[in-house]
Structure 1
Amino acid sequence: MEIYDHIVVGAGSAGCAVAARLSEDPARRVLLVEAGGGDRVLASRAPAGFSELIDSARDWGYLTEPEPGLDGRRIPEPRGRLLGGCSAMNAMLWIRGSHLDYDGWDLPGWSWEEVLPTFLRMEDHLLRDDAHGHGGPMRVRRLRDPDPVARAFVESSAAAGIARTEDLSGPDLDGVSLAPTTTSGGRRWSTVRGYLDGARRRPNLTVVTGALVHRVVIEGGRAVGVELERRGTVRRVGARREVILSAGAFNTPHLLQLSGVGDAEHLRDIGVEPLVDNPAVGAHLQEHPFTFCNYELREPWLGLSDAARPQHVLRWLLTGRGKLASNVAEALAHVRTLPDLPAPDMQLVHAPVFFWENGKAEHPRPAFAIAQSYWTPASRGTVRAVSRDPRRLPAVQLNLLTERADLEAMVRGIRLTREIVAQGPLADMVSVEITPGPDVRTGEELERWVRRTCLNTYHPAGTARMGEPGEGVLDARLRVHGVAGLRVADASALPRITRANTNAPAILVGERCADFVREDERAGAAVRAPQLVAGA
């Protein structure tokens, strides 16, 4: 049996960071396991192509259970199944979140003041000041060739009273600007580029793709390895020190459940022996609801409607410039939909192209979209294994808009979007509102439309959250309650979802996890007695 010091499960946003940082010590043998394949595909490298990855072989293909708040619809929840994970198939927005997010968790080591040095270490930011990092692994740039329609969105937002800002990444989020993006030279800059490319040259780091982890092997209250399948062969790999789950907000709780960590009654129902009874595993799922207002453009404006033409593809291949270099979500406005809120509760995302059905739908004429992503939802969902078979995806229930306050916020966001479009340069560029459409005006009509069309922002979080035993799955150092030698490092660890696109917070968790591993080993605290036991 192969034995490593550390096994990291999932080479996504956080997993690449964890593995790269731990492997900086040449005395550690680190194994990074990824279920998917490589990221050497045009749709990942060319920023504008990311929607082509959705519902492809590089997407886990999650579809929620019928959503009670969305007229019973089942909606897709794309998750990256390739090196880089969702950092290799997202819209490349770099937002850290509000200081209220981190301070509000009230966890030792996670206040804004405490996480800021890690953010600075992560970044190579376009803004050259003390509030941003320089020389870090994650490059943050603005697009070199933003579309004129995106610039018009910024101007119209300012005309509507939204303050211009140079920095949207936090902790002060208010304002409108062209988007900060994880792109460089017109190409996507995922965690593969930032962390893994350099680290893979180290002899003490092994990266295995196409390997599905079945479970974490837990013996005597300690994680001692994983069981994985590759090319039809199931084998066990050992871990001398720790196993770290970085499989994402759906796959991490699923693996915990298959490993015997979760609600004991549920585990017995699916034929898994409960080792640690913790109903918080797979609970508390949070996601940002997402709606889309689309507008048809007057001539001569084209937006990105012709981005797939050969001349644009050739220009990108030769120079890294042009329409294929667009991250699509080219401009952002962070707004408060109620005046007395302590921080923005919504992100308005401008795309100079018609965007519907996760980018799969088409419109016959040039158009642009402004999407509403609600940052502080009250609704909560679940992730639950449906079988002991690791090849069967768990059941995901987002429960979007089951709290009325969330629905009301979405309506406010649409009304604000219409105010922006009605003035400034956008007012002269628009010929007609496509969605929701001119006939959807009253509050009741908008609510019905939102329930019929609302999707998610691809930001699931909180399903293995930090918190006290019973309320959470992890302690503040990302250790799984009740199991020694097992940690979680991904967005599932967030106690509450951030006012942010979750890529930067997920990488933060990965960086912090590597810090905690090293610090705890120095303190002799890596091995702990179990705190929870399986229910009788």
Structure 2
Amino acid sequence: MESSRFDYIVVGAGSAGCVLANRLSESGKHKVLLLEAGPRDNYLWIHIPIGYGKTMFHPEYNWGFYTDEEPTMKNRRIYWPRGRGLGGSSSINGLIFVRGQPQDYDRWAQAGNPGWDWASVLPYFKRCEHNSRGESDAHGGDGPLWSSDIEEKSELMEAIIRGAGELGVRRTDDFNAGDQEGVGYYQLFTRNGWRNSAAVAYLKPARGRANLRIETNAHATGLIMQGRRAVGVRYRQGGEIVEARASGEVVLAAGALQSPQLLQLSGIGPASLLRGHGVDVVHDLPGVGENLQDHLQFRLMYRVSKPITTNDELKSIWSRARIGLKWLTTGRGPLGIGINQGGLFTRILPGSATPDIQFHFATLSADMAGAKPHPWPGCTFSVCQLRPESRGRVAIKSTDPMEAPSMRPNYLSAEVDRICAIESIKYARRLAATEALKPYIAGEYKPGPGVRSDDEILDFAREYGATIFHPSGTCKMGPDPMAVVDARLRVRGVTGLRVCDCSVMPTLVSGNTHAPVVMMAEKASDMILEDATGYAKAA
């Protein structure tokens, strides 16, 4: 294979990039280059689910981004972890299998994106999925990406489920069958107790293909353009700048922060921003970097009256050895689950036809995600608004591709988001006060009993609110003037270039983002190959 010429170049080996590399190279007819700025996924703690805590601040496997100072969040710079290395964020995420709501995708289609309604995307969700329960009308049974049940039930989680029942929320064993409302255990992206990242599910089976080249430690620095056609990618590897050419297409799958950054560095974006940094304008596309959305979480922590939490199991060397042995022999226990075991979706805002908040329940507590657990029995109720209305921006700070862009999420800038923050925290407290949880909750650690009024609750939200790791929307799909890609994910006004990652979501899905992005990449691979066939026929 020629070293510098390919049919397709995929930038970013995360949730989308791994899928695209597999599917585009699957027939053996196309030469595919996959570029990843980080290393191979050789770190053991990537593959052990509880290793989430080990990778949260890892300097090699995590970009470790920070937002700009957020005026709406007490001028804090908020930590934004993003996966770096094969698998991207799927190698360091919380493993939660949630697709979102059918209405999310129907809204995309209604906004002018044909083919993205629920009925159209469900077959792709099923195609990617290997559910441990087997195939059904809602689930796939033989796809690459495993979703597995948590086999062992938790005493504390069972009490939470009963408590939610007191508040009128029914128990469910499936948040992904179409009706999301309910409380229960999450399914996880694990297989026999190991993380089933996109790199494991999609890249590992494809690595031996002669027509697929995977380059790691290869940081894309910009697109090679001929007029308004993308013909290749420049990347930095081993201290040198390397060029790779694509006779077909370049697909950006670098995520909601770095895909718009690459477009802007390459002269595609808001003309005023580009000129302000001395970047030649190739195509004035004002929506690049705009429409930034994220799920903002509020973590309520409680002391637990019985030593039944993960805090207790990690407390001593002997208990750690015991759970390690259990995982090695059965694939079960805390090491095979990670952090969050269960969830709850419900409605708290007037007029919401579908759930508007989501909980992640962890039988563990720590001062921040990935930090050392508290020395006492503890648990965490993390709650987020599913469809925030606040919008932010991603923008280059300079022409240096190694410098992180400016990230301004503008959390809580919309009034409905502030109302939802207050009401969701109140709801979490009502749940903790139910009869079912009274024998287990010994006291509230955060926010603490001193935080009572709405103003005090909102102040807590501003002081401690943090990302739940779902930045999206910065290269949105649609027909309007601020859209960056069309419904086939082609960059508007440019040929030979697509984007496929969280950035193309017009609006954030109601839940975790890994499963939706895998689905999108499955669909995108079909569209890319279909369009290539169409071009060949036309020629």
Q: Secondary structure of the residue that 2:292 maps to in structure 1? A: coil
Code of the aligned partner of 1:181: L
User: What RMSD over aligned residues (CA atoms) do the two structures have, in Å?
Assistant: 1.7
Which residue, 13, 17, 35 being the options, matches 1:15? 17
The structural deviation recorded for 1:393 is 0.6
Deviates more, 1:124-133 or 1:442-451: 124-133
The structural deviation recorded for 1:340 is 3.1
Pairing 1:310-349 to 2, within 5 Å after superposition? 310-338=321-349, 340-349=351-360
- The aligned counterpart of 1:120 is 126
Deviates more, 1:318-327 or 1:11-20: 318-327
The structural deviation recorded for 1:207 is 0.8
Which residue, 252, 258, 264 being the options, matches 2:265? 258
Tell me: CA distance 1:18–1:421, structure 2 relative to 1, closer, same or farther (3 Å): same
Code of the aligned partner of 1:406: D
The structural deviation recorded for 1:331 is 0.2
The structural deviation recorded for 1:527 is 10
- The aligned counterpart of 1:55 is 57
| 1:235 matched to 2:246 | no
Cα offsets for 1:68-118 (capped at 9, x unmatched): 211111100110001111111111111111111111112111011111111
- The aligned counterpart of 1:110 is 116
Deviates more, 1:166-175 or 1:243-252: 166-175
The structural deviation recorded for 1:192 is 1.1
Deviates more, 1:489-498 or 1:143-152: 143-152
Which residue, 224, 232, 237 being the options, matches 1:225? 232
Tell me: CA distance 1:54–1:102, structure 2 relative to 1, closer, same or farther (3 Å): same
- The aligned counterpart of 1:426 is 437
| 1:203 matched to 2:206 | no
Tell me, yes or no, if the aligned pair for 1:307 and 1:324 is still in contact at 8 Å: no
Tell me: CA distance 1:525–1:501, structure 2 relative to 1, closer, same or farther (3 Å): farther
Instruction: Measure the CA separation in 2 of the matches of 1:97 and 1:526.
Output: 37
Instruction: Measure the CA separation in 1 of the matches of 2:325 and 2:221.
Output: 43
Tell me, yes or no, if the aligned pair for 1:151 and 1:178 is still in contact at 8 Å: no
The percentage of aligned residue pairs carrying the same residue is 37
The structural deviation recorded for 1:411 is 1.4
Cα offsets for 1:420-470 (capped at 9, x unmatched): 111243221111110111121121111111111111110000000112262
Instruction: Measure the CA separation in 2 of the matches of 1:292 and 1:118.
Output: 33
Runs of 4+, deviation exceeding 6 Å: 525-528
Code of the aligned partner of 2:478: G
Tell me: CA distance 1:411–1:46, structure 2 relative to 1, closer, same or farther (3 Å): same
Tell me, yes or no, if the aligned pair for 2:175 and 2:181 is still in contact at 8 Å: yes
Q: How many residues align structurally?
A: 528
Instruction: Measure the CA separation in 1 of the matches of 2:537 and 2:497.
Output: 9
Unaligned runs of 5+ in 1: 529-536
Which residue, 80, 101, 104 being the options, matches 2:83? 80
| 1:4 matched to 2:6 | yes
Instruction: Measure the CA separation in 2 of the matches of 1:385 and 1:407.
Output: 29
Pairing 1:65-464 to 2, within 5 Å after superposition? 65-105=68-108, 106=110, 107-128=113-134, 129-307=136-314, 309-338=320-349, 340-464=351-475
Tell me, yes or no, if the aligned pair for 2:311 and 2:373 is still in contact at 8 Å: no
Code of the aligned partner of 2:146: R
Q: Secondary structure of the residue that 1:244 maps to in structure 2? A: strand
Code of the aligned partner of 1:81: R
Instruction: Measure the CA separation in 2 of the matches of 1:526 and 1:479.
Output: 19
Deviates more, 1:428-437 or 1:118-127: 118-127
| 1:504 matched to 2:504 | no
Cα offsets for 1:225-279 (capped at 9, x unmatched): 0001101011111101000000000000000001110011111111211101011
Relative to the length of structure 2, the TM-score reads: 0.95
Deviates more, 1:83-92 or 1:165-174: 165-174
Tell me, yes or no, if the aligned pair for 1:469 and 1:481 is still in contact at 8 Å: no
Q: Secondary structure of the residue that 2:286 maps to in structure 1? A: coil
- The aligned counterpart of 1:490 is 501
